[in-house]
């Protein structure tokens, strides 16, 4: 059995956005932890890349997430201090759409229920205050000043670096092929060796369903495409002048992030073309169809003018049927924790999910109500 450090307390499969945070939390608690990642760290084959990810308190999906995102803000700030690196940028956030859209009503409800300071704006208000945006007439918006973005690649590297400093062992470019329960824990097999531990955390993103058979039919990897566009007036699209934004037309939600990390304003459509894919077979090259779809939508919601598309990139969502997370232990294996199904809105919660994952792996009670995220709901 290949194991340079002997038996581990916990093995974490997947050292991406959430897995890196779990490894960090476990190492900080003095656990002997091994993190296994099939690709390089960080990489562009999963979900946590692309220079920026939206973070927002006005959480339209369900007000129940608001307390978790509040904790995420605290964890990002603490990580920034420990890593001595800026990871979170507050630009403000806009959630816009028809007044009766789920996006606008949900964001408003979340702010009111949790007493989050916010403004309700007309389309004209938004377009005047933020000239980079072009919200259609008749739409309304929720503006929340704490919204912004986090840096996914930098966040992963910070979590890994600090986990290693605390004693964690990280092994990349090593693919987990199988795991099984033993009389005293778990055994994990990879394409390079086998490892033993008391407990296992699976945070493998789009590959989670392949590693946790009971969830194979509950998790759907989906191809997502993001564009970066060079606007005619780039000064209106900097983090100082443009908030992160989501705009709903009832059928689709488009979103964007100011110019950061790569030239051009970042723009995408949530769930893109609803293409369910096998993660190992996904064609990473965006198509002309992808570009045309995003370019047309950008003209509708942004004042980009005759913008040049400077970049296109694919990533993967891993969706559950209800678009809520899976955060639980396996009913048949209580020493195995599963964190997944983040459905395109998980990375902002990395610090919170790292804490929760470490709690579940060590038998500590969570500060959050995890009932909505139980496997038994399917």
Give residue-wise pLDDT tens across range 244-294: 999 999 999 999 999 999 999 999 999 999 999 998 766 678 999 999 999
CA distances from 207 to 47, 202, 210 (A): 11, 9, 5
Q: Identify the CA nearest to 150 among candidates 85, 59, 246.
A: 85
The domain spans of the chain are: 8-48+153-216+323-377, 92-147+220-319
Alpha carbon 99 to its chain centroid, in Å, reads 27
pLDDT for 6 equals 79
pLDDT at residue number 1: 38
**Three-state helix/strand/coil letters over the chain:** CCCCCCCEEEEEECCCHHHHHHHHHHHHCCCCEEEECCCCCCCCCCCCCCCCEEECCCCCCCHHHHHHHHHHHHHHHHHHHHHCCCCEEECCEEEEECCCCHHHHHHHHHHHHCCCCCEEEEHHHHHHHCCCECCCCCCEEEEECCCEEECHHHHHHHHHHHHHHCCCEEECCCCEEEEEEECCEEEEEECCCEEEEEEEEECCHHHHHHHCHHHCCCCEEEEEEEEEEECCCHHHHCCCCCCEEEEECCCCEEEEECCECECCEEEEECCCCCEECCHHHCCCCCCHHHHHHHHHHHHHHECCCCCEEEEEEEEEEEECCCCCCEEEEECCEEEEEEEECCCCCCHHHHHHHHHHHHHHHHCCCCCCCCHHHCHHHC
CATH of domain 92-147+220-319: 3.30.9.10
In this structure, are strands 333-340 and 326-330 parallel, antiparallel, or unpaired?
A: antiparallel
Which single residue is written with the structure tokens 């086998």? 194
CA distance 160 to 154: 10
* Tens digits of residue pLDDT in 316-371: 999 999 999 999 999 999 999 999 999 999 999 999 999 999 999 999 999 999 99
Predicted local confidence at residue 279, as pLDDT? 86
Q: What is the pLDDT of residues 106-165, one digit of tens each?
A: 999 999 999 999 999 999 999 999 999 999 999 999 999 999 999 999 999 999 999 999
So what's the pLDDT on residue 280?
Answer: 76
Largest CA distance in the chain: 65
In the structure encoding, which two tokens stand for residue 30, read together?
């003095």
Whole-number average pLDDT of the chain: 96
In CATH terms, the fold of domain 8-48+153-216+323-377 is: FAD/NAD(P)-binding domain (3.50.50)
């Amino acid at each position: 059995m290949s194991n340079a450090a002997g038996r581990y307390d916990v093995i974490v499969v997947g050292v991406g956005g959430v897995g890196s945070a779990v490894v960090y939390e476990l190492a900080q608690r003095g656990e002997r932890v091994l993190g296994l990642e099939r690709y390089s760290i960080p990489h562009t084959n999963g979900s946590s890349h692309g220079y920026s990810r939206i973070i927002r308190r006005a959480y339209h999906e369900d007000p129940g997430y608001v307390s978790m995102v509040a904790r995420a803000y605290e964890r990002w700030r603490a990580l920034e201090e420990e890593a001595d690196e800026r990871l979170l940028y507050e630009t403000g956030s806009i959630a816009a759409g028809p007044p009766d859209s789920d996006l606008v009503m949900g964001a408003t409800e979340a702010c009111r229920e949790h007493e989050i300071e916010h403004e309700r704006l007309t389309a004209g208000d938004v377009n005047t205050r933020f000239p980079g945006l072009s919200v259609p007439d008749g739409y309304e918006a929720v503006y929340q000043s704490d919204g912004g973005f986090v840096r996914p690649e930098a966040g992963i590297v910070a979590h890994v670096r600090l986990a290693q400093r605390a004693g964690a062992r990280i092994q990349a470019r090593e693919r987990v092929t199988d795991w099984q329960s033993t009389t005293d824990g778990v055994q994990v097999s990879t394409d390079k060796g086998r490892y033993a531990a008391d407990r296992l955390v699976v945070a493998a993103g789009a590959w989670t369903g392949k590693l946790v058979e009971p969830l194979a039919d509950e998790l759907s990897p989906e191809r997502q495409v993001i564009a970066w566009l060079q606007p005619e007036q780039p000064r209106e699209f900097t983090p100082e002048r443009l908030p992160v934004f989501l705009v709903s037309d009832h059928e689709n939600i488009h979103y964007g992030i100011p110019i950061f990390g790569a030239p051009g304003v970042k723009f995408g459509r949530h769930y893109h073309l609803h293409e369910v894919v096998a993660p190992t077979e996904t064609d990473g090259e965006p198509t002309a169809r992808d570009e045309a779809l995003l370019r047309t939508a950008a003209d509708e919601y942004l004042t980009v003018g005759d913008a040049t598309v400077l970049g296109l990139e694919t990533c993967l969502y891993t969706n559950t049927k209800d678009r809520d997370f899976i955060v639980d232990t396996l009913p048949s294996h209580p020493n195995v924790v599963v964190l997944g199904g983040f459905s395109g809105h998980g990375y902002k919660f990395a610090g919170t999910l790292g804490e929760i994952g470490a709690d579940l792996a060590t038998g500590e009670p969570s500060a959050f109500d995890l009932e909505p995220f139980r496997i038994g709901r399917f």
